[in-house]
Amino acid sequence: MNADVESGNGGAAVSDVIVVGGGVSGLTTAMVLAERGDRVRVWSAAPAAATTSAVAGALWWPYRIEPQDRVGDWSLTSLRWYEELAARPLETGVRLVEGMHRGERLAGLGPWAGQLKGVVETADGLRCRLPLIDMPAHLAWLEERVRAAGGSVERRDVTSFDEPAAEAATVVNCTGLGARELVPDAGMRPVRGQLVLVENPGIEEWFTEADPASSETTYFFPQPGRLVLGGTAGTDDWSTVPDPRTAREIVARCARVRPEIARARVLGHRVGLRPARDAGVRIEAGPLPGGGRLVHNYGHGGAGVTVALGCAQAAAQLVG
């Protein structure tokens, strides 16, 4: 197993596992399982580049995710891993980048914030150096890690867990919003995020400002070849079509922070539906018909990247 990840399998027997879902949660879970020696297949209806994960910003930060008593540990586990991966940014898609969380205060965060390195509290908010992940590159890297460990990634559209259960002893459900119909789990709901991609006019630091009481947020993330502008957080909004007025408002909000953004050439528009769950993240195991095992790992809201490895390791423990 690659030394980048500790799975803690404890010498358990090899399992045949199918992970349903090919976003960041599914691929990270598959990687952990494959690298500890399980025979893993990932079934995903869409290529990784077409998943919600590929649209993400994606700055490490526990945003719009519950339960708070577990999120901290999952997030910090993932943070330490990303800090290691940032030594190979071209390969992994992970960089450590300076930036500002305007309006944030350490006292308003959970105990996990005390484990952050080099955070400076200013009059405006928190300045810190955090992992910023280029998601298309990172997802491709995760797929390669799965394959290098003997796993496979397949295009399969699953309408019932009976389908993977017929081919593997254990099924891991990383279907995100798909869990609403597949489980079914009526507590799953979309939180719509719209982004604008522009040419970077020379901005090297990220910026966020979020009002929990508003569906509008302001952020920009310098990613390779583009500056990602956001955003929105519209609960129960299923539309994946970019709205031109919303796009103009996003650019205007970001330009109030950095005026040069107003003149940046627009490269494209993106919409992603964050997979929020009323009861918070679900990591839980239960039986499948025929004696198999179903492990759930879904409901990560706006922080799937932030908790990816921590939740993957928790789910792997339930696989056995």
Domains held by the chain: number: 2
- pLDDT bin (cut points 50, 70, 90) of residue 63 is confident
Task: Tell me: do 199 and 160 sit in the same domain.
Answer: no
Between 42-51, 81-90, 191-200, the lowest mean confidence (pLDDT) is in 42-51
Average pLDDT over residues 292-305: 96
For CA atoms 48, 49, 52, 55, the dihedral sign is positive
Across 18-24, average pLDDT:
97
Q: Is residue 173 located within the same domain as residue 199?
A: no
152 and 44 housed in the same domain: yes
Residue 192 lies in a domain: yes
The answer to whether residue 120 sits within a structural domain is: no
User: Could you tell me where the DSSP H helices lie in the chain?
Assistant: 24-35, 52-55, 68-85, 89-92, 135-148, 162-165, 179-182, 244-257, 308-319
Give the distance from CA 215 to its chain's centroid. 20
pLDDT tens-digit map of 189-229: 999 999 999 999 999 999 999 877 778 899 999 999 999 99
Stretch 225-237: mean pLDDT? 96
pLDDT value at 12 more than 90: no
**% of the chain beyond a pLDDT of 70:** 95
Last residue of a domain, which of 277, 293, 309?
277
Cβ burial 86-113 (10 Å sphere, 16+ → b, else e): beebeebbbbbbebbbbebeeeebeebb
Q: Around 236, how many Cα atoms within 13 Å sit in the side-chain half-sphere?
A: 3
| Cα–Cα nearest to 131, from 101, 103, 99 | 99
Strand partners, 198: 227, 266
pLDDT single digits (tens) 256-277: 999 999 999 999 999 999 999 9
Average pLDDT of 164-188? Answer: 97
Determine, yes or no, domain membership for 91.
yes
Q: What is the pLDDT of residue 200?
A: 98
- Residue 66 pLDDT greater than 70, yes or no: yes
Tokens of 203: 């901005």
Distances (CA, A) of 195 to 74, 135, 213, 244: 26, 14, 20, 11
149 and 78 both lie in a single domain = yes
Reported as a pLDDT band with limits 50, 70 and 90, residue 15 is low
pLDDT band at 289 (very low <50, low <70, confident <90, very high): confident
**269 and 284 belong to one structural domain:** no
Would 124 be classed as within a structural domain? Answer: no
* CATH number of the structural domain spanning residue 197: 3.30.9.10
**Under 8 Å between Cβ of 174 and 21:** yes
- Give, for 129, the enclosing helix (H) or strand (E): strand 125-133
- Report yes or no on 56 lying in a domain: yes
- Domain match, 242 and 307 both: no
- Of 277, 294, 310, the residue at which a domain comes to its end is 277
pTM of the predicted model, to two decimals?
A: 0.94
Distance, first Cα to last Cα, the chain: 17
Q: Is residue 196 part of a domain?
A: yes
Tell whether 136 is covered by a domain.
yes
79, 222: one domain: no
Give the domain CATH number at 39.
Answer: 3.40.50.720
Top mean pLDDT of 38-52, 87-101, 203-217 is at 87-101
Mean pLDDT of the chain: 93
Exposed/middle/buried for residue 286 (C-beta within 10 Å: 0-12, 13-18, 19+): exposed
Using pLDDT thresholds of 50, 70 and 90, give the confidence band for residue 34. very high
Cα–Cα dist 2/73, whole Å: 22
Residue that terminates a domain, selected from 242, 260, 277: 277
Q: What is the DSSP letter of 273?
A: E
Residues 289 and 310 in one domain: yes
* Residues 225, 91 share a domain: no
Phi, then psi, of 226 in degrees rounded to 5: -165, 160
Residue 241 counted as domain residue: yes
Euclidean distance between CA atoms 224 and 132, whole angstroms = 11
Based on the domain organization, do 243 and 294 belong to the same domain?
A: no
Segments forming the whole domain that contains residue 143? 1-96+130-187+279-320
62, 177: one domain: yes
Residues 75 and 60 grouped into a single domain: yes
The per-residue pLDDT for range 102-132, each reduced to its tens digit, is: 999 999 999 999 999 999 999 999 999 999 9
